[in-house]
């Protein structure tokens, strides 16, 4: 950590600041320029409150050198993490394909979609039982009945289930019934939920908050990992920007960025990024080309009657066509879908 101090500050104030830093157990490398004094702090600064130091009148800025995450940091874990979830692999050379409807609507629907995505080569079944909707007047999901139907579809196809949890109250049911527990974009900083998920032994799919920086996202992963659960899969799903043509702006650069900074796998959700079915194919291909460890794609047998997100859902036949192309891209990159 580097503290930049006004060089014209009274000597007494500077001494007081130095003492307060030394008291935190840090060493100070002190260097005086014409306009600024630079204090390089050496030691473990992860728990130092930057805000505290900044509240000094004489401090101009505080710059962090060390990344604030540790368990998620590639620096301390150079190899890419690979997770094996009921035989479906993710990370390293393994490209995961999670597919299924935005929300589970009926037994027929979920089984039909599950079978078709399985046939096309998907490696996970996604399906929402609890739906975070911006309007209280919209369909809120089938709830626990939805989880039951997902289990039936899993029994039929063998695909592990990915489904979103909305609060700690449902934790026991999710640990029992779901194979990958998804944390939605609106809950990326629901720290109580993250902490409880960190105490389970289930893989967690952590979607990026729609206005979260990459660092904040990794800090949310750290919340889970700190409690002992190191199976965190990150999912880029578009960020909020000034552009309104797309529902969100897919931050494709987040893929190489996360892979440089962290060992955790990162997948992309092109469906939520775009919000338009015809954009899913180009964005899914861009994701694998950029090096993503997987994609998550909404597939619905009847988008026009879907209870949510119909506009961004692919029909099963379109999904099958997309899978053929993704396999070619995977081959170029030396990756295996599975």
Residues within window 144-183 making contact with its own copies, judged by CB under 8 A: 166-169
Work out whether 12 is an interface residue with its own copies (CB under 8 A).
Answer: no
Residue 7 or 156: the one with the smaller Cβ distance to its own copies is 7
User: From residue 215 to residue 254, what is the string marking binding to its own copies with x (rule CB under 8 A)?
Assistant: xx--xx-xx--x------------xxxxxxxx--xxxxxx
- What pairs with residue 267 in β-bridges? 235
Of 124, 134, 226, the residue nearest 181 (C-alpha): 124
Tell the smallest beta-carbon distance from residue 6 to its own copies (Å): 9
Contact predicate 53/26, CB 8 Å: no
Query: Which one-letter DSSP state was computed for residue 58?
Result: T
Which parts of 26-65 interact with its own copies (CB under 8 A)?
A: 29, 31, 33, 35-36, 38, 40, 42, 46-47, 49-52, 54-56, 61, 63, 65
Q: Determine the Cα angle at 142 with ends 138 and 144, to 5°.
A: 140
Tell the smallest beta-carbon distance from residue 214 to its own copies (Å): 5
With CB under 8 A as the contact rule, the residue among 25, 145, 158, 191 that binds its own copies is 191
- Tell me how many residues contact its own copies (CB under 8 A): 106
Q: How many CB atoms lie within 10 A of CB 136?
A: 6
Contacts of 183 (CB under 8 A, 6+ apart): 164, 165, 190, 193, 194, 197, 204, 205, 206, 207
Tell the smallest beta-carbon distance from residue 23 to its own copies (Å): 10
With CB under 8 A as the contact rule, the residue among 183, 197, 204, 288 that binds its own copies is 288
Residue 36 or 151: the one with the smaller Cβ distance to its own copies is 36
Work out whether 257 is an interface residue with its own copies (CB under 8 A).
Answer: yes
Work out whether 312 is an interface residue with its own copies (CB under 8 A).
Answer: yes
Work out whether 19 is an interface residue with its own copies (CB under 8 A).
Answer: no
Of 273, 59, 97, 256, the residue nearest 185 (C-alpha): 273
Contact predicate 141/114, CB 8 Å: no
The two tokens of residue 276 are: 């338009």
Phi, psi angle pair for 274, to nearest 5°:
-85, -45
Contact predicate 297/280, CB 8 Å: yes
- What is the C-alpha to C-alpha distance for residues 330 and 321, in angstroms, rounded to an integer? 15
Work out whether 20 is an interface residue with its own copies (CB under 8 A).
Answer: yes
Place of tokens 């920007």: 241
Work out whether 78 is an interface residue with its own copies (CB under 8 A).
Answer: no
With CB under 8 A as the contact rule, the residue among 109, 123, 231, 313 that binds its own copies is 313
User: From residue 262 to residue 281, what is the string marking binding to its own copies with x (rule CB under 8 A)?
Assistant: -----------xxxxxxx--
Residue 135 or 201: the one with the smaller Cβ distance to its own copies is 135
Residue 51 or 201: the one with the smaller Cβ distance to its own copies is 51
The two tokens of residue 30 are: 């002190």
Work out whether 199 is an interface residue with its own copies (CB under 8 A).
Answer: no
Which parts of 84-113 interact with its own copies (CB under 8 A)?
A: none
């Amino acid at each position: 950590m580097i503290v930049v101090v006004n060089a014209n500050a009274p000597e007494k104030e500077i001494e007081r600041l130095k003492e307060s830093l030394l008291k935190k157990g840090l060493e100070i490398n002190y260097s005086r320029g014409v306009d600024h004094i630079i204090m390089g702090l050496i030691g473990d600064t992860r728990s130092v409150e930057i805000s505290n130091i900044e509240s000094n009148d004489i401090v101009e800025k505080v710059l962090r050198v060390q990344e604030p995450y540790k368990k998620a940091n590639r620096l301390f874990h150079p190899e890419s993490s690979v997770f094996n979830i009921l035989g479906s692999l993710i990370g390293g050379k393994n490209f995961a394909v999670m597919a299924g409807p935005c929300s589970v609507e009926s037994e027929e629907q979920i089984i039909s979609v599950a079978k078709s995505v399985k046939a096309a080569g998907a490696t996970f079944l996604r399906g929402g039982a609890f739906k975070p909707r911006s309007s209280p007047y919209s369909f809120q999901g089938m709830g626990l009945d939805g989880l039951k139907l997902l289990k039936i579809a899993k029994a039929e196809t063998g695909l592990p289930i990915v489904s979103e949890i909305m609060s700690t109250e449902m934790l026991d049911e999710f640990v029992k019934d779901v194979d990958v527990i998804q944390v939605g974009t609106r809950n990326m900083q629901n720290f109580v939920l993250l902490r409880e998920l960190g105490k389970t032994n289930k893989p967690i799919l952590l979607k990026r908050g729609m206005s979260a920086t990459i660092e904040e996202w990794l800090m949310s992963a750290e919340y889970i990992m700190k409690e002992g659960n190191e199976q965190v899969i990150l999912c880029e799903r578009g960020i909020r920007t000034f552009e309104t043509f797309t529902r969100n702006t897919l931050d494709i650069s987040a893929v190489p960025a996360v892979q440089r900074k962290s060992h955790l796998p990162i997948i992309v959700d092109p469906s939520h990024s775009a919000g338009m079915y015809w954009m899913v194919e180009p964005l899914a291909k861009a994701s694998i080309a950029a090096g993503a460890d997987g994609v998550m794609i909404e597939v619905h047998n009847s988008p026009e009657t879907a209870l949510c997100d119909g506009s961004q859902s692919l029909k099963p036949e379109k999904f099958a066509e997309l899978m053929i192309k993704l396999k070619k891209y995977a081959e170029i990159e030396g990756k295996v879908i599975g």
